[in-house]
Amino acid sequence: MELYRNSLRITLSVWKALLLREALARLFSSRGAWFWLVGEPVAHMAVLGLIYAGIRQRTIGGIDTLIWLVLGVQGFFLFRRTAGQMAGAIDSNRALFSYRQVLPIDTVLMRGVLEATLMTAVMAVILFGLVMMGHDIRPADPLRVLFAFIGLWLLGVAMGLIVSALSELVPEARQIIDLTMRPLYFVSGVLFSVGSVAPPYRDWFLLNPVLHGIDSLREGFSPYYHGVPGVSMGYLYDCAFIGIFIGLLLHRRFADLMVTR
Amino acid sequence: MIVVEDLYKRYRTDHGPGRWVLQGVNLVIPPRVNVGLVGRNGAGKSTLLRIMGGVDHPSRGTVRRECRVSWPMGFGGGLQGSLTGRQNAKFVCRIYGRERDMPEKLDYIQAFAEIGEAFEEPVKTYSSGMRARLKFAMSLAFDFDIYISDEITSVGDRAFRRKARKAFSDLVGRSSLVMVAHGESTLREFCDAGIWLHEGKAHWFDTIDDALKAYNDWQSV
């Protein structure tokens, strides 16, 4: 073995080891854990789809209802799972900090990367299912869809970084995720079109960056989609990058406290 | 060689900063010398080992590791409960960048730990003795210049203790050992030099007998 490795090589090998370790835990920790990765969002969509497409209407804002729903649910799940998984990373990897190469931020970041990978696979499965059901899944503006997904993921990363750092300082911070996720689900336009909200209140909804991501997804899918006026991807990215900056800052500042206890 | 300079350590408690555990520790762990750490409970022995191993941070002062230092063996942690023994061993091989000769390392760890079929079972099903065996085997699979061990020789059954002892004595002349143990016979058997941790300061003794004597004299007062 060569005597000394440089810091970058150490970090890269730690990342690889953590990624594989997390993937194992995420896919096989309990019976059928891998199934529920796809099963949870699909069940979610199935119930909503039944209500919306079956009972209410064929299209929402000029776009296939099922596609509209799938994009909303997947976009939101991508954000929520990334944030939630990253927030719990330090706690579930505490045993591994007895190796000095492994830093808290490594575990948090790798969970984010893993979640992006898994959600891509989940999305592929779901899109395949939609094709089989005879829906047109070709987006009008694929790049816009891609950037909206990436933006939502980055926003999840930002939230995950901040909450994971804060929860080491204030143990109650984990509750923030549970507390904010539920109302966030309702104000993000997953279930209803925020465009149908009357103007003075709509502006309040527009403060929520997740909504911008989800409606950008839908706009990218169909040029005829008339969603919420004032949606901008720039706002989503601004929020994500500011959040990531704050999260990294917290991790840098309080790194010592996190392993020490 | 590990150089510890003017090391201070205190922990955070729920009521603000706690008492100083270590106050101005200065010491050098020379190469190829086995060192035993003695002191009463709560004197900061484990804290010092953790800081030397790089998994805890000093409140003040510096630690320089000028060689390959093992992770602190024998502490809680180091094994991920949901993964099997083999997966844990693979994880450690990977973070040490030893993917190329991983099969040999895994064979060695499996053979040394002697935990049989349990190697393929999740670590959370292990007994404390089995965990200790696995951790010990993992750390011996890598060549370190200094092994840091906290009470590891006191866990496990007699056969394993004998094996551990033999493994450590094989390391003499190649690597050194910094250890904490409460059994005087264990310390005398393994260690050349001793450090007595007392009231936040470290006192170096060239022989372990002197260290134990100083410690015992203080205790009997």
- In angstroms, rounded to a whole number, what is the distance separating the alpha carbons of residues A123 and A129? 10
Which residue type, as a one-letter code, is found at position A211? L
Residue type, B90: K
Nearest CA in chain B to A4: B68
Inter-chain residue contact A21 with B83, CB threshold 8 Å: yes
Q: How far is CA A149 from CA A16, A62, A64, A237, in A?
A: 24, 21, 19, 11
Minimal C-alpha gap between B96 and chain A (Å) = 7
Two tokens, residue B90? 């693979």
Q: Going residue by residue through chain A (261 aa), what tens digit of pLDDT does each one get?
A: 455 678 888 999 999 999 999 998 888 877 788 888 888 888 888 888 888 766 666 677 677 888 888 888 999 999 999 999 999 898 888 888 888 889 899 999 999 999 999 999 999 999 999 899 888 888 888 999 999 999 999 999 999 999 999 888 887 777 877 788 888 888 888 887 777 777 788 888 888 899 999 989 988 888 778 777 788 889 999 999 999 999 999 999 888 777 765
What is the rounded distance in angstroms from the CA atom of residue B75 to the CA atom of residue B90? Answer: 19
d(CA A141, CA A86): 30
DSSP annotation of B181 reads: -
Sign of the dihedral defined by the CA atoms of residues A28, A31, A32, A36, in that order = negative
Residues A1, B87: C-beta atoms closer than 8 Å: no
Query: A53 vs chain B: nearest CA distance in angstroms?
Result: 42
Structure token pair of residue B59: 């409140």
Cβ pairs bridging A and B (under 8 Å):
79
B186 contact A CB<8A? no
Tell me how far apart the alpha carbons of residues A146 and A144 are, in angstroms, rounded to a whole number. 5
DSSP secondary structure of A21-60:
HHHHHHHHSSTTHHHHHHHHHHHHHHHHHIIIIIII-SEE
**Chain A residues closer than 8 Å to B76 by CB:** 95
Give me the interface pTM, i.e. the ipTM: 0.84
Query: Residues of A numbered 21-50 whose beta carbons fall under 8 angstroms of chain B's beta carbons: which are they?
Result: 21, 24-25, 29
The CA distance from A171 to the nearest CA of chain B, in Å, is 12
Helices (H), A88-141: 89-92, 104-132
Of the candidates B190, B177, B178, B187, which has an alpha carbon nearest to the alpha carbon of residue B213?
Answer: B187
- Residue A100 contacts B, CB cutoff 8 Å: yes
Give the residue on A whose Cα is nearest the Cα of B69.
A100
